[in-house]
Every structure is written in structure tokens, then in C-alpha cells.
Amino acid sequence: MFTVTELELDAVASLSASIHLTFFGISFGALVAFAIVLATVSPNDPVIHAMFVALLWVSALMTLYFGIRGINDYITARRKLNEIKSEPSVN
């Protein structure tokens, strides 16, 4: 049996339920969609083209941000889980 604090449980629980990874998936999907639109369609209106380029950059920034935060959450949770596992068990 292991003794675990509330903070340690929260860290381990965040391993599978990171909201950052969810938003990473959404923003990455948007990035791919806007890239496909810009690669396949050439809009005649320069305003529409500029809008899609801006949306591409915004989704790229969001993908980068949420990807870094998701990886950070994952590493923190794995580190905390390894700390819990390395503690001597209480019998």
C-alpha cells in the first residue's frame, strides 16, 4: 500500500485528462484544415486570402502553445507518478 497526498493524486490524474492536449488536437486540426484550403483554393478576393492566412498563423500559434503545455503536463505527471512508485510501500 502506498500513501499518496492530494497533490500527488491531482498530478497523476492530470496525466490522462490534460485539457491542453485536447486543445492541441483541436488547434492542430484547424491548422491542417486551413493549410489544405490555402494549398488547394486560390480565392479571388485578397481579403478572404488574408483571412485564411491569418487563421493559419493563429492556429499554428495555438498548436505550438497547447503542444508545449500538454507535453509539460505529461512530463510533470509522469515525474510525479515515478516519485510515488519509488517511495517505499507501507505494509
Per domain, the residue ranges of the chain are 6-86
Looking at residue 26, what is its pLDDT?
Answer: 96
Residues whose CB is less than 8 angstroms from the CB of residue 65 and which lie 6 or more positions away in sequence, other chains included: none
- pTM of the prediction? 0.74
Pick the more confident residue, 42 or 3: 42
Residues whose CB is less than 8 angstroms from the CB of residue 52 and which lie 6 or more positions away in sequence, other chains included: 34, 37, 38, 43
**Res. 91: pLDDT tops 60:** no
pLDDT digits (tens, 9 = 90+) for 10-66: 666 666 667 888 899 999 999 999 999 999 988 889 999 999 999 999 999 999 999
